[in-house]
Amino acid sequence: MRIVYHLGAHFTDEERLLKCLLKNREVLSQYGVVVPGPKRYRNLLRDTAIQLKGSAASRDTQALILDKIMEEDVADRMVMSWDSFLSLAPWALDGTLYPAAGDRVRAFSQIFPEIEAEFHLSIRNPATFLPALFEKLPNKTYDDFIGKTDIFDLHWSDVIERILAQNPDTPLTIWCDEDTPLIWPEVLRIVAGLPEDAALEGENDLLASLMSGEGMSRMQTYLQSHPPASVMQRRKVVSAFLDKFALPERIETTIEMPGWTTELVDELTATYEQDVHRIANMPGVTFIAP
């Protein structure tokens, strides 16, 4: 069996991936894939990792934990999703992004040290990630929130390096949250380990939330009458319909942070884009590009 950890990050997924996979449990079971409900493992894994203190779990402990998580007797693949695998939100920023990411992921993977693992992570532009995080911490002032952090020195590639350093040879797949509307079907299948032609209920729900009903209907009709010959062709079609029928209030992000200017946001975005290019070329990383 292989255990798949969907690591978040915060404010990138909002449980969409988990909800879609849970909706497709019967289809996934045909491929030997199980998706436990989050209440079966999130607190359990957290408490077990704390008790182990970084040590590897014994076989008896592994068997006990698996028995509590899985309803099925056997599986080829188990998917677990939690945006706090890397850190709880209040500790996501401390001089850098997710400073404990490597140790945290290592601690969770040590619960099942003899089972193959793979990691999946969606990243987000710090220009929008930081405001979303700050909003979730209402008891902090901006100065307390930022502390001594240099916001122009926040790189997801550093987070990824910490994960890889503590978890060598474990496959790691990365994609950008901003690209999700174009690559969502591929993300679902890659995380679940499904073939490209596997049909999943609700795989277009994200697009449906971003464009008008008329646009969604026209796009589906077009795709049915003009089946795309490749993933890239489908993305071009989706992109064209999003350009024409996207709902502005659903895709436009208003950034409000004390002292931030348009120029600052643009500079953060440019730094992020450079970092994404670096990540796409990092050894040990599979990058899903739009």
3-state secondary structure the chain: CEEEEECCCCCCCCCHHHHHHHHCHHHHHCCCEECCCHHHCHHHHHHHHHHHCCCCCCHHHHHHHHHHHCCCCCCCEEEEECCCCCCCHHHCECCCECCCHHHHHHHHHCCCCCCEEEEEEEECCHHHHHHHHHHCCCCCCHHHHHCCCCHHHCCHHHHHHHHHHHCCCCCEEEEEHHHHHHHHHHHHHHHHCCCCCCCCCCCCHHHHHHECHHHHHHHHHHHHHCCCCCHHHHHHHHHHHHHHHECHHHHCCCCCCCCCCHHHHHHHHHHHHHHHHHHHCCCCEEECCC
What values do phi and psi take at 100, rounded to 5?
-100, 15
Mean pLDDT of 91-115: 96
The two three-digit tokens of residue 126, written as one number: 């710090």
Asked if residue 148 is part of any domain, the answer here is yes
Asked if residue 31 is part of any domain, the answer here is yes
The two three-digit tokens of residue 203, written as one number: 């795989």
Asked if residue 74 is part of any domain, the answer here is yes
Look at residue 91 and tell me whether its pLDDT is greater than 90. Answer: yes
- Total number of residues shown for the chain: 290
- pLDDT at residue 197, as a whole number: 87
- The chain-wide mean pLDDT, for the chain, equals 95
Look at residue 281 and tell me whether its pLDDT is greater than 90. Answer: yes
Distance between CA atoms of 36 and 72, rounded to whole angstroms? 9
Mean pLDDT of 69-79: 95
Distance between CA atoms of 42 and 164, rounded to whole angstroms? 22
Asked if residue 214 is part of any domain, the answer here is no
The two three-digit tokens of residue 58, written as one number: 């014994």
- pLDDT at residue 252, as a whole number: 82
Q: Which residues contact 77 (CB under 8 A, 6 or more apart)?
A: 1, 2, 3, 4, 31, 32, 33, 34, 192, 193
- Residue 174 structural domain: 2-200+262-287
Peptide bond into 9 cis (omega under 30): yes
For residue 109, the one-letter residue type is S
- pLDDT at residue 96, as a whole number: 97
Mean pLDDT of 37-60: 96
Mean pLDDT of 66-86: 96
| Rounded to 5°, angle at Cα 79 from 133 and 122 | 35
- pLDDT at residue 250, as a whole number: 84
Q: How confident is the model at residue 84 (pLDDT cuts 50, 70, 90)?
A: very high
Identify which has the larger pLDDT, 253 or 66.
66
Q: How confident is the model at residue 36 (pLDDT cuts 50, 70, 90)?
A: very high
Asked if residue 249 is part of any domain, the answer here is no
Look at residue 34 and tell me whether its pLDDT is greater than 90. Answer: yes
Asked if residue 234 is part of any domain, the answer here is no
CATH of the domain at 158: 3.40.50
Asked if residue 219 is part of any domain, the answer here is no
Q: How confident is the model at residue 112 (pLDDT cuts 50, 70, 90)?
A: very high
Domains: count for the chain:
1
- pLDDT at residue 251, as a whole number: 83
Q: How confident is the model at residue 272 (pLDDT cuts 50, 70, 90)?
A: very high
Rounded percentage of the chain residues whose pLDDT exceeds 90: 94
230-267 pLDDT, tens digit per residue, is: 999 999 999 999 999 999 888 888 899 999 999 999 99
Asked if residue 272 is part of any domain, the answer here is yes
Beta-carbon-side half-sphere exposure of residue 268 (alpha carbons within 13 Å) = 19
